[in-house]
Amino acid sequence: MGERNLKSNRRGFTFDELISGEKPEEFIESAQPFMKLMMQYQCAMLEVQTKFEVLNTELSLDNDRNPIESISCRIKKPMSIVEKLKRKGVEVSLSSIEKNLHDVAGIRVICFFPKDIYKLAEKICSQDDIRVVEKKDYIQNPKPNGYRSLHLILEIPVFFADEKKWMQVEVQFRTIAMDFWASIEHKVKYKKDIDASTADIVEKLRGCAESIHSLDIRMQEISEYIDTKR
């Protein structure tokens, strides 16, 4: 297809018509390049996931425990991709996806303690086949609502059958406590018939975030104390 706009294919069908299932043959033809791009993001995501699994195994030898509690991965859904491109006011096309979106492929790494997050981030960023595109530390500098996490945009080379291609993957690091807060905040934020932006709810959520952060630090201190007694 080359550089075909996702809004329509060469026969003039709109993107909405194609995804509606009314013209399945045209949809399949138009979707192939998009599916290939999503496959490439999937492969990049798996490459980064494997790197974290290796680090988790290796670092467990140093501390007699795994720094990672769990790893989850996701590829952004097609309609979410289109909606985000539209919000950004940019063209809805394959090249625009690669140029303007950094979170098509996403990995969430849940750690036990904040120090594990920084250790893993340091190790992954120091690997010579990784390019760090962006780093946002919402642990040291939480968002106004209390949200804490460490975000990285990483670029990694992926070797396909006929090409080597640098692909971007977003990585979010959270502790178990941070992830618990973020999950609850998300449910509250999008709950129907409730305005989660009211000052009272915002303040309560921020207070919970501070309490959870204090818990993270206290549990980390207990863990470090126990380590010194071994």
Active site residues: 170
- Residue 146: other Cβ atoms inside 10 A: 23
Distance (Å, whole) CA 126 – CA 129: 9
Query: For every residue of 105-127, which 3-state class applies, written as one string?
Result: EEEEEEECCHHHHHHHHHHHHCC
Count how many Cα atoms sit within 13 Å of the Cα of residue 124 in the half-sphere of its side chain.
31
Half-sphere exposure of 126 toward its Cβ, with a 13 Å CA cutoff? 7
At 52, give phi and psi (nearest 5°): -70, -35
CB distance 52 to 71 below 8 Å: yes
DSSP 76: -
Contacts of 149 (CB under 8 A, 6+ apart): 138, 139, 172, 173, 174, 178, 182
| Number of residues in the chain | 230
